[in-house]
Structure 1
Amino acid sequence: MKFIHFADAHLDSPFRGLSFLPSKTFKQIYQAADESLTKIIDLALDEQVDLVLIAGDTFDNNKPSPRSQLFFAREIKRLTDAKIQVVMIFGNHDHMNLDDLLVTPSPYFKLLGASEKVESASFETKNGFSYVVNGFSYLNNHIVDDKLTAFPAKGDSYTFGLMHAQEKTTQASQNVYAPFDVNEMKDLDYDYFALGHIHLRQSLSKDPWIVYPGNIQGRHINEMGPKGCYLGQIDEQTGQTAITFKETGPIVWQEISVELNSSVTKTDLQTKILGNLSDINQTTYFSVHLVGAQYLDGDERELVQDKDFWQSISANLNFNSQLVDVRFESNNRLELDPNDQTSFEKAKSEVFSQPNFMKISKDWLRKDPLAEKLVSDPRFQNEVKELAEVKLSSRLKGINDETEEN
């Protein structure tokens, strides 16, 4: 028996922060998830799989556009017309009613647990191999209950678990996506637990299999690397399962570090960045980290933060690849005398304490309600810290240079 497991297609995802891209390029990334899904369906047909498991968040919200609904329905019909069984659940993003899904009714399409209750469905392949899929769908965007307790015991048939969920954490406020304990999931002894929700591809267990396939297309720089689905093959005699990752995402996000050890001209800086972006074999969206950014003066920092500069770099890249993000990082090589270094480190720890950061952000939060989510994001806090440190280091370097000249 062969099967495909994918999750988190997030059709209709807005891809925020990329509106500066040329319209043709922006259209390319907007359609990237669609293209990835089509490749997954192509793979299922080419491999003549018996089953496709869809582990939630197919759509980016619970009221998807007619365009994405009709597109998804057409792709699923390609599978059901080929008599490939599709078993799907809704996740926290696309928590919908079954009646709102435009998929053509078919005995080869099954939405599990539409009432947010664990449901079991039994199937048989063309060769007579029996298997069961147990799972549930979201009706609301949060599920705080541990749903594993409602999953039935494994019977004689090969058994899949299908769940859109995350591991339990020590912070109760984060346990709102059907939180589960890995050991308890392993105790169910299902042959393969197909998970969704976490966009990082990973296997939590190999015996038995507990697998996140990741999302099918990275949407921003924090979703780096190849994206796609898993192709599974089951030995029908032994029940042993082997899985292989199949890349289908047309665009890859990649982070590149460019290290500066001394001051550079604008031309040299551009050449250095381009030199680090030359090894490309598919469409890639780059985030460049300028390590040692304290060596840049104000004009140079302004240049590399300008989106027109990014586009001038992108024009020289293959496969319509793009530079879409530049971040600054100090490599702490600035030499200060011991007293100044001690004061610098003390000031840094005080200024960037959590209470001070929130205090500094207070006025901004009053003016912009959307800023609250951004300010509480540790990644944003770290970016602000790095930029402030780079600017301060650069200024101290200038003072140092003047002192040495005198």
Structure 2
Amino acid sequence: MKFVHLADAHLDSPFLGLSFLPSNQFEKIKNTTQTSFKKIIDQAIANEVDLVLIAGDTFDSIHPSPQSQIFLNNQLQRLVDHEIQTVMILGNHDYLKPDELLLPQSPYFKLLGSDQEVEKIEFKTKNNFTYRVVGFSYQENHITSDKINEFPEKTDNVFTFGLMHAGEKMHNQGQDNYAPFETSEIKALNYDYFALGHIHLRQVLSEQPKIVYSGNIQGRHINESGPKGYYYGEVNENINTVQIKFVPTAPVIWQKITINLNQPQSQTELIQLLQTELRQHLEQETLLAVELKGAQFLTDEEMEFIRDPDSWEQISNNLPFNSRLVKVYLKDNDVLSLNESDKEAFDQARAEVLSPENIKILGKNLAKKDDTVRELFENEEFLKEIQDLATVKLGQELKGFDDEIK
């Protein structure tokens, strides 16, 4: 038996923060989730798999566009037309009512546990191998209860797949909102393969039995870097063992590169350095973020230049695979010649003065005047960028003082 496990397609994802790109490239990137999804379906058909498992968050929201609904229905219908059994669940992003979804009406397609109750169903492959799938779909944004308690334990020899959109228990109030579970609980069910969605980082929680997050199928920002795709699995029908392999399908990947500066750089030198460093890391079309350490060596003009998207466009023009620099983070690298106690005091003062809480206070009046500014000051990544930039500026000033007293 052969199967595909995918999750977290997030069709209609807005790809925030990339609107500065040329319109044709931005549109291409916005379509990458569909491109990756279609490639998975192409390969499932080409490999003549028996089963496709879709572990939730196929849509990015409960208001999918008509175009993405039609796209999904067409792709699922292709599987149905090839008599490939498809089992899908809904996640915390796409918890739609079943009658709001455009889905194939066929024995070869099943929306599992559509009433948020755990459902069990059995199928047979064309070679008459019996297997079952057990799982549930979301019908609300948050599920704080441990749904594993509702999964029936396997007590026979029928090969059993678990299918769930959920997160491991954090044991912190307010964080266990997505059907929280312990890996040990899943192991105790004695299932043969447990297909998980929700966490976008691909990972195998257990080898025996296999408990697997396939990750999302297309990275959408720098924190979702590296190859994205699905898991292809083969079942040994004689002894019910599973072999899986990851198959990348994302047409565009994200990558963060760290570059160290140890001396002042002119704008021309900075461009050449970035282009040289970035080229070494490219093997396919990539959206790149650069962390510049030692940014206190840059002048104010150079810092303004390197943070300007127009400069990123200039740097990107000579990169292979149509890759683009889309973000620059500025960091200092602690070049001050302070003794250990002074360094400790400086770090403590810096942490206190430049804390996210203090930055929010400083931005309070601005945030009152504009909703967009208010949203920025509620964005943790934006606050971290301000913190880093302020630290770099402080490093510039203290570096000058440090040089004078040496």
1:77 corresponds to 2:77: yes
Once residues 287 and 257 of structure 1 are traced to their aligned partners in structure 2, the CA distance between those partners, rounded to angstroms, is 9
Match of 1:258 in 2: 259
Cα separation, partners in 2 of 1:203 and 1:273, compared to 1, 3 Å:
same
Match of 2:395 in 1: 393
Match of 1:291 in 2: 293
Q: CA deviation digits over 1:16-55, x for unaligned, max 9?
A: 1100000111011011001000110011011110000000
Q: TM-score, normalised by structure 1?
A: 0.95
Deviation at 1:365, TM superposition (A): 4.3
Name the stretch that deviates more: 135-144 or 350-359. 350-359
Match of 1:141 in 2: 141
Please show how residues 176-195 of structure 1 align to structure 2 within 5 Å. 176-195=177-196
Name the stretch that deviates more: 394-403 or 38-47. 394-403
Please show how residues 377-388 of structure 1 align to structure 2 within 5 Å. 378-388=380-390
Please show how residues 222-237 of structure 1 align to structure 2 within 5 Å. 222-237=223-238
Match of 1:347 in 2: 349
Deviation at 1:334, TM superposition (A): 2.7
1:126 corresponds to 2:137: no
Name the stretch that deviates more: 252-261 or 335-344. 335-344
Deviation at 1:63, TM superposition (A): 1.6
Once residues 251 and 373 of structure 1 are traced to their aligned partners in structure 2, the CA distance between those partners, rounded to angstroms, is 28
Whether the 8 Å CA contact 2:356–2:384 is kept in 1: the answer is no
Amino acid at match of 2:385: E
Please show how residues 228-247 of structure 1 align to structure 2 within 5 Å. 228-247=229-248
Deviation at 1:374, TM superposition (A): 5.4
Deviation at 1:256, TM superposition (A): 0.5
Once residues 191 and 372 of structure 2 are traced to their aligned partners in structure 1, the CA distance between those partners, rounded to angstroms, is 43
Once residues 174 and 339 of structure 1 are traced to their aligned partners in structure 2, the CA distance between those partners, rounded to angstroms, is 38
Q: CA deviation digits over 1:171-214, x for unaligned, max 9?
A: 12011111111111111111111000000000111111111010
User: Residue 312 of structure 1 aligns to a residue in which SS?
Assistant: helix
Deviation at 1:376, TM superposition (A): 5.7
Whether the 8 Å CA contact 2:354–2:390 is kept in 1: the answer is no
Cα separation, partners in 2 of 1:153 and 1:301, compared to 1, 3 Å:
same
Please show how residues 2-401 of structure 1 align to structure 2 within 5 Å. 2-154=2-154, 155-279=156-280, 280-336=282-338, 341=343, 344-353=346-355, 355-368=357-370, 375=377, 378-401=380-403
Once residues 142 and 5 of structure 2 are traced to their aligned partners in structure 1, the CA distance between those partners, rounded to angstroms, is 23
User: Residue 134 of structure 1 aligns to a residue in which SS?
Assistant: strand
Whether the 8 Å CA contact 2:295–2:331 is kept in 1: the answer is yes
Deviation at 1:87, TM superposition (A): 0.0
Once residues 345 and 91 of structure 1 are traced to their aligned partners in structure 2, the CA distance between those partners, rounded to angstroms, is 42
Name the stretch that deviates more: 240-249 or 314-323. 314-323
Name the stretch that deviates more: 362-371 or 252-261. 362-371
Q: CA deviation digits over 1:338-373, x for unaligned, max 9?
A: 786465334213213465344334334434556677
User: Residue 110 of structure 1 aligns to a residue in which SS?
Assistant: strand
Cα separation, partners in 2 of 1:214 and 1:338, compared to 1, 3 Å:
closer
% identical aligned pairs: 50
Cα separation, partners in 2 of 1:372 and 1:178, compared to 1, 3 Å:
farther
Name the stretch that deviates more: 97-106 or 31-40. 97-106
Give unmatched runs, 5+ long, in structure 2: none
What is the RMSD of the two structures over their aligned residues, measured on CA atoms? 1.8
Whether the 8 Å CA contact 2:335–2:399 is kept in 1: the answer is no
Once residues 338 and 64 of structure 1 are traced to their aligned partners in structure 2, the CA distance between those partners, rounded to angstroms, is 56
Deviation at 1:382, TM superposition (A): 3.3
Q: CA deviation digits over 1:366-403, x for unaligned, max 9?
A: 34556677556554443332211111001122233455
Amino acid at match of 1:326: V
Cα separation, partners in 2 of 1:371 and 1:131, compared to 1, 3 Å:
farther
Deviation at 1:67, TM superposition (A): 0.4
Cα separation, partners in 2 of 1:372 and 1:176, compared to 1, 3 Å:
farther
Amino acid at match of 2:6: F
Once residues 211 and 78 of structure 1 are traced to their aligned partners in structure 2, the CA distance between those partners, rounded to angstroms, is 26
Q: CA deviation digits over 1:72-101, x for unaligned, max 9?
A: 111111111000000000001111111122
Amino acid at match of 2:135: G
Once residues 311 and 372 of structure 2 are traced to their aligned partners in structure 1, the CA distance between those partners, rounded to angstroms, is 28
Deviation at 1:333, TM superposition (A): 1.7
Once residues 311 and 192 of structure 1 are traced to their aligned partners in structure 2, the CA distance between those partners, rounded to angstroms, is 46
Amino acid at match of 2:202: R
Give unmatched runs, 5+ long, in structure 1: none
Deviation at 1:102, TM superposition (A): 1.1
Name the stretch that deviates more: 277-286 or 366-375. 366-375
User: Residue 312 of structure 2 aligns to a residue in which SS?
Assistant: helix
Q: CA deviation digits over 1:113-135, x for unaligned, max 9?
A: 11110011100101111111000
Once residues 78 and 20 of structure 1 are traced to their aligned partners in structure 2, the CA distance between those partners, rounded to angstroms, is 36
Once residues 27 and 375 of structure 1 are traced to their aligned partners in structure 2, the CA distance between those partners, rounded to angstroms, is 28
Q: CA deviation digits over 1:292-321, x for unaligned, max 9?
A: 111111111000000000001111111111
Whether the 8 Å CA contact 2:286–2:323 is kept in 1: the answer is yes
Once residues 128 and 356 of structure 1 are traced to their aligned partners in structure 2, the CA distance between those partners, rounded to angstroms, is 65
